Every structure is written in C-alpha cells, then in structure tokens.
Amino acid sequence: MGNVSKNSTNDKVLSQMKCENLHISPDDILCSLQPLIAEYFDGDCQCSSDGITYTAANGQKFRILAAEVK
C-alpha cells in the first residue's frame, strides 16, 4: 500500500493498512491534526506542506511542524 491519503480513516482504508507496508509522511500527520486543532480552538488553522499555522482569536500565532526522525 502506498502513502496514506489525507484524513482517510474510514473502515475500509483502516482494514487494508498493513504496518509493514505503511508509509506515513510528515504531511499526513499535519493534515490529520489540522481538523482536530480547528475543532478544539477558536481561530484560523491552515495546513500546508511545511506545517500548520494556527492563529488564535486573540491574535496569537503558532506554527506546528512535523518531521520524520530516522
């Protein structure tokens, strides 16, 4: 199985995943976290290939990054 598609966690996809064949990219992690952050915190949350940018309702800005550790 190739790369995990963005936010595809339906039962069919999960049942086809084999740990030894699964490749998760940093982008997969970021794009999976973005909806959770947007749901739990008021403000603007944008996901791009280089990270998540979260701007809180009070104007604070945060950058969330992910990198594979080898």
Each residue's pLDDT tens digit, 1-57: 344 444 555 555 555 666 667 788 899 899 899 999 999 999 999 998 889 999 999
pLDDT computed for residue 45 by the predictor = 93
- CA angle at 26 for the pair 41 and 43, rounded to the nearest 5°: 15
Q: Is this model's pTM higher than 0.75 or not?
A: no
Residue 50 has a pLDDT of 84
Integer Cα distance of 28 and 67 in angstroms: 11
Q: Cβ contacts of residue 4 below 8 Å, gap of 6+?
A: 13, 17, 22, 23, 24, 25, 28
What pLDDT is attached to residue 20? 63
Query: What pLDDT sits at residue 58?
Result: 95
Pairwise CA distance, residues 42 & 58, whole Å = 9
